[in-house]
Amino acid sequence: MGEPRTPGLRAQSVYRALRRAIIEQALKPGMKLPEDSIGEQLGVSRTLVREAFGRLAIEGLVELKPNRGASVAYPTLEEARDVFDVRRGLERLVAESLAGRLTAAQAAELEAHVRQEEKAHGQDGPESIRLSGEFHIKLAEMTGNALLLRYVQEASSRCSLILAIYGRPHSSECAVSEHRQLIEALRAGDAARAAHLMDHHLQAVVTRALLTPRGERDIHEVLAPYALSEGLNPP
Amino acid sequence: MGEPRTPGLRAQSVYRALRRAIIEQALKPGMKLPEDSIGEQLGVSRTLVREAFGRLAIEGLVELKPNRGASVAYPTLEEARDVFDVRRGLERLVAESLAGRLTAAQAAELEAHVRQEEKAHGQDGPESIRLSGEFHIKLAEMTGNALLLRYVQEASSRCSLILAIYGRPHSSECAVSEHRQLIEALRAGDAARAAHLMDHHLQAVVTRALLTPRGERDIHEVLAPYALSEGLNPP
DNA sequence: AGAGATCGTATTGTATGCGATTATTGATGA
DNA sequence: TCATCAATAATCGCATACAATACGATCTCT
C-alpha cells in the first residue's frame, strides 16, 4: 500500500535504519544482530537484512563472523587509532582541496553552521555531537569529490562508534573556535595553514575525547584488575 | 567434492574472481554482467553473485542500476580525477606513517621489489603494471593500518580500471627511479620529503598515463564520427 | 557432583521460486 | 521505408525453502 514500490529502495532503507540505530547507540556496540528478528522488526526478509549487514560490515559498523552472524562492531583501541589516522589524512585533503575555492555561498553556509554549533554548545545532548560531525561532512561535500565524501562519511561514522565506546562522557568533540579558524584559512586560500589546522583540530579531538577506555569488551578485561588486587593469577 | 565446504568462502571466491577478471580486463569496462550466466559459469547461485556485485559496486568496480542489473564500471574522467586525488592523499599518509619507521627487513623487501620492477621494465606485459601496483600495496601494508590498506587497495584497483580506459597503451605507469627515491627518503626518516615525493610520483603517473581517452562507452560514441563522416545526422 | 556425550532448537549459508520490470523481436499501419 | 506497438523472452528484486552448523539443555556415567 504505502510501502515503497521502488526496487532497491527497501534495501537502502534497511541499511540506513540499521546504520542510524548503530550510530545513535540504540544498538550498542557488541550487541548481537539476528537476521530473523531484525527482518521481522523491519518488515523485510532476511535477504535484505543480510545485504545491509554486508555493507555495514565493509564500513566497519558491524562485525560478521562465519556461521555466527552479525553483531555491532566493537573496535579495539588500535583500530580506533587507525581510523582516526586515516580520517586525519582524508580531511587534510579536504582542507587543501577547498582552500581558496570556497564560494561566498559556501562560506556563508559554513558560518551559519558554526553559529548553530555555538548555540547548541551549552546543552551537550546528541545535538552538539551531531552538528560538529556534520560540519566535517559539509566540508567534504563541498569538495565535489564523491569518493572523498564517501570515505569521510565512513570514517566519520566509525568515529562515532569509537567515541561511543572510548569517548569521555561530556567531551564536546569539536571546539567551535577551531572550526572558525579553519573557515578563515579556507577563505584566505592558505592551503597549508588550512591543512595544518585541520590536522591539529582532529588531533585535538582524539586527545580530548579518546583517552579513557570505559566499558570493557568482556569479562576478562573487566575482572583482571579485581583478580590482581586479590593476588589471583588469571591466565 | 573439491569444492570449498567452508561457509562464506564461496561467496568470497566469487567476489575475488570477478574482481580479478575486471582488473585484468577479462571483463571489459561497460560490459553487462547478468546474474544468471555468471552464477552458472562459476557454479553458484544468483544469491552469491549478487552479494559479490554489492561489494564490487561499493568499491566502484561495477555499476548497479535498479532493475537493469550490473555492468563493469565505466568511470568518467571526472570520477577518475577524484579517485586519483584521494589516492594521492592516502598514499601521502602512507609515506608519512612509514618515514623513519621502516625495519631493515622491510627496506630490503622494498628494494628487492624494485629490482624486480627494473627487470620487468623491458617487456611491458601486464607484469610491469602489476609490479608497480604491488609496490604501493606493500607500502600500505607496512603501515600496519588495516583501514589505510583497504582504502589504498580500493583506490588502486579503481585506478587499474581507469587506466584501462583512459591510459596510454604502453605507459609504464610508475618510474622505477621514483620508487627508489621514495625508499631512500623513508629510510632517512624524512617524512616531509617522502610525502612530497609520493605526491609528485602519483601526480606524474596521472600526467604520464591519463591523458588520451581511448575506447568509448557505447555504440553512440563509437559510431558518432563515422556517422558524421558519412553526412548522417544522429540525434 | 562433575565431566562429557547426545539430542533439540535456533540461526546461518545457499539455492530456488514467484511476481514484476525491462529488453527484444516481429507485426501492423502510415 | 520507417515509425509504432504488442507479444514474448530475458532478467531482476525479493521472499521463501532447505541444508548445514553452532549453541544449550538434558542425560549418562564415573
A120-149: pLDDT as tens digits: 877 666 788 888 899 999 999 999 999 999
Chain C bases near protein Cβ (<7 Å): 10-17, 21-23
Confidence check: pLDDT of B235 > 70: no
- Give residue-wise pLDDT tens across range B22-48: 999 999 999 999 999 999 999 999 999
Residue A211 pLDDT exceeds 70: no
Closest-CA residue to A90 (of B51, B148, B219): B148
* C-alpha R_g of chain B: 20
CA neighbor of A92 nearest in space, from A155, A41, A40 = A155
Q: Give pLDDT, residue A4.
A: 47
pLDDT higher than 80, residue A217: no
Alpha helices per DSSP H over chain B: 9-23, 35-42, 46-58, 77-98, 104-120, 126-142, 146-166, 176-188, 191-209, 219-229
pLDDT at A20 over 80: yes
Whether the CB of A6 is less than 7 Å away from nucleic strand C comes out as no
Q: In whole angstroms, give the CA distance from residue A6 to residue A9.
A: 6
Q: Does B53 touch chain A (CB under 8 A)?
A: no
DSSP percent split of chain A into helix, strand, coil, nearest 5: 65, 5, 30
Contact yes or no for A95/A186 (Cβ under 8 A): yes
- Please give the grid coordinates belonging to residue B178: 621514483
pLDDT for residue A167:
83
Distance CA B152, CA A224 (A): 38
Residue A152 grid cell: 569521510
Lowest-pLDDT choice from B71-85, B136-150, B209-223: B209-223
Q: Band the pLDDT of A155: cuts 50, 70, 90.
A: very high
User: Which bases of strand D sit closer than 7 A to a protein CB?
Assistant: 10-17, 20-23
Of B198, B139, B148, residue with least CA distance to A81: B148
Q: Quick: pLDDT tens for B114-144.
A: 999 988 877 666 788 888 899 999 999 999 9
CA B193 vs CA B90, B92, B201: distances in Å: 16, 10, 12
Strand A69-72 relative to strand B62-65: parallel, antiparallel, unpaired? unpaired
Q: Does the predicted model carry a pTM greater than 0.85? A: yes
* Chain A nearest CA to B176, separation (Å): 26
Alpha-carbon span B220 to A70, nearest angstrom: 46
Decide: CB of B46 under 7 A of nucleic strand D: yes
Half-sphere exposure at residue A207, Cβ-oriented, CA atoms within 13 angstroms? 7
For a pLDDT cut of 90, what percent of chain A falls above it? 69
* B102 residue type, one letter: L
CB contact under 8 A, A145 and B89: no
Q: What is the mean pLDDT of residues A171-191?
A: 89
CA dihedral A119, A124, A126, A129 (to 10 degrees): 70
pLDDT for A205 beyond 50: yes
Do strands A32-33 and A69-72 pair parallel, antiparallel, or not at all (unpaired)? antiparallel
B156 with B136: CB under 8 angstroms?
yes
B181 near A CB under 8 A: no
Q: Do B58 and A60 touch (CB under 8 A)?
A: no
- Residue B229's CB: how many other CB atoms inside 10 A? 8
Specify the pLDDT at position B130: 86
Region A30-54: mean pLDDT is: 97
- Return the residue of A nearest to B199 by Cα: A93
- What is the pLDDT at residue B208? 81
A92 interfacial to chain B (CB closer than 8 Å): yes
What's the pLDDT score for residue B5?
A: 63
Q: Does residue B151 sit at the A interface (CB-CB below 8 Å)? A: yes
Sheet holding A62-65, edge to edge: A32-33, A69-72, A62-65
Instruction: Categorize the per-residue pLDDT at B101 as very low, low, confident or very high, splitting at 50, 70 and 90.
Output: very high
Nearest CA in chain A to B83: A147
Give the confidence band of B224 by pLDDT, cuts at 50, 70, 90: low
- A186 by Cβ neighbours in 10 Å (0-12 / 13-18 / 19+) ranks as buried
Chain-chain contact of A151 with B8 (C-beta, under 8 angstroms): no
Residue % of chain B over a pLDDT of 70: 83
| pLDDT single digits (tens) B152-210 | 999 999 999 998 888 877 666 678 999 999 999 999 999 999 999 999 999 988 888 76
Evaluate whether B43 touches B5 at the Cβ level (below 8 Å). no
User: Residue A177: what pLDDT?
Assistant: 92
B152, B95 contact by CB (below 8 A): no
Q: Give me the mean pLDDT over the A79-98 stretch.
A: 96
Q: Would you say residue A234 has pLDDT above 70?
A: no
Residue B107: pLDDT band with limits 50, 70, 90: very high
> Pick from B67, B85, B147: which is nearest to A82 by CB?
B147
Mean pLDDT of chain A: 87
- Using a CB–CB cutoff of 8 Å, tell me whether B49 touches chain A: no
pLDDT above 70: residue A78: yes
Give B231 to chain A, closest Cα distance, Å. 39
How far apart (Å, rounded) are the C-alpha atoms in residues B22 and B161? 8
